[in-house]
Chain A
Amino acid sequence: MSGMSGLCLFILPDEVRIHTPAMVRVFGQGRDVLQRLLLSFCRRRLQASRSKDQKGKKYMNKDVNVRFEKCDDPDTIDILFSASERDEQVEALIKTVSEQLVRKLHVVDGKNQDCIIDESEIISISSQGKKVRILTDSGLYTARRSLQDLEQMISRRKFMRISRYEIVNASRIRTFDFNIRGTLRIEFEGGIETWASRRYIPLIKKHLQGKDGAE
């Protein structure tokens, strides 16, 4: 089998040709069937050989065109990947672009050490006096910036204000609850809870509906 693949790879790269006089002599009348089998095998090998470069990394074999289209929404940039299929090359491009889109924040941890967190880790950002607390999956941090500054830095699509003192990650909200005491409780994944201002209900609604210009 390795000999056949060697033959095929020798014949390649651009077009698969198996009409060699030696093969006709060896296989006689059954050559059409064998040719089809070989052709199929060679095509697979060709695809495999093209998809890897010498270092074993994925090889981008499709042409990539970049073009700009103007849209009406001043707050949004839409990135669309258009391809015949969502293959490895497309996945790699999506991953590369997505990595660039992740916003990172400089914060201070409990040991007063500077560190960087992804905004996707954030559950809520709240101000308590002069301190701005950032609650994440990995713990509690403080920020050196004001709540207003942070609000400008983070994704408007993901985050929304729920009171004068707090911004939350909308995608982390599990449920809203209005109890008999008349407080609007927000429960996040993992059972973490906070309280929103009643006056922000219309704004929260707009955000969830995507009507606040954030989507």
Chain B
Amino acid sequence: MKTLLKLCGIGFLMGVFIGNLITVFTSLPDGGGLFTKRLLDLAGSEAMAALIQTISTGLLGAVSMGGVCFHEIENKHFGLLASAVSHLSLILVFYFPIAFLLGWIASLPEALIMLAIMVASYFIIWFIMFLRYRAAVKELNRIKESSPDNSGNEQD
């Protein structure tokens, strides 16, 4: 629980920072700024827009970082694949409403492109981790096979 809260705290700060960067880039077609036009229209004022953006991006960051705790859960039913899918699902559930609210994405095609990018990114991360773990386990078997205890000459 302590780890989760710590990760969420760090995630919140990172989320606010990265969220503002995304907003700056997203608002470039409208002349640039700290908020998208869509958010300003929705919020009515810059102060309210800043508040909504800070809380939303912080929340997204907290969820993203806190979701790392899925990888801490390990049992025979909840392996690397389940951890990765759970983490990605959690991020997506929070990302799309926030992204629409803040004006990062404005249409369904854009949403689908973002979904594809995120799923592909996560697949690559999962695949690299899977290969690393598989290689490590292969190494364990090799060590086990070559250990003296395995040759029937157990010393004790």
Contacts and interface: CB of A to CB of B under 8 A. Distances in A.
Interface of A: 98, 101, 155, 157-158, 163, 170-171, 173, 175-185, 195, 197-199, 201-202, 204-205, 208-209
Nearest to B76: A195
A197 B71 CA distance: 10
B133 interface: yes
Contact of A170 (B79, B136, B141, B149): B149
19 contacts: A101-B156, A157-B156, A175-B144, A178-B134, A180-B81, A181-B79, A182-B80, A182-B82, A183-B77, A183-B78, A183-B79, A195-B76, A198-B80, A199-B74, A201-B136, A201-B137, A202-B136, A204-B140, A205-B136
A178 B140 CA distance: 11
Contacts, number: 71
Contacts of B83: 182
A205 to B, nearest CB: 6
A195 B137 contact: no
Nearest to A197: B74
B76 A183 contact: yes
Contacts of A163: 74
B81 A176 contact: no
B75 interface: yes
Interface string B132-156: 0110110111011001010000101
Nearest to B143: A208
B144 A173 contact: yes
Contacts of A173: 144
B74 A198 contact: yes
B78 to A, nearest CB: 8
A98 B137 contact: no
Given A171-B154, A197-B74, A205-B136, A176 B79 contact: no
B130 interface: yes
A30 B58 CA distance: 110
Nearest to A185: B76
B81 A181 contact: yes
Given A178-B137, A201-B133, 4 more contacts: A179-B79, A182-B130, A183-B78, A208-B143
Chain B CB count within 10 A is highest, among A155, A195, A199, for: A195
Contacts of B140: 176, 201, 204-205, 208
A181 B84 CA distance: 10
A184 B136 CA distance: 11
Contacts of A180: 81, 130
B143 A178 contact: no
Contacts of B154: 171
A42 B12 CA distance: 93
Chain B CB count within 10 A is highest, among A180, A181, A197, A199, for: A181
B144 A198 contact: no
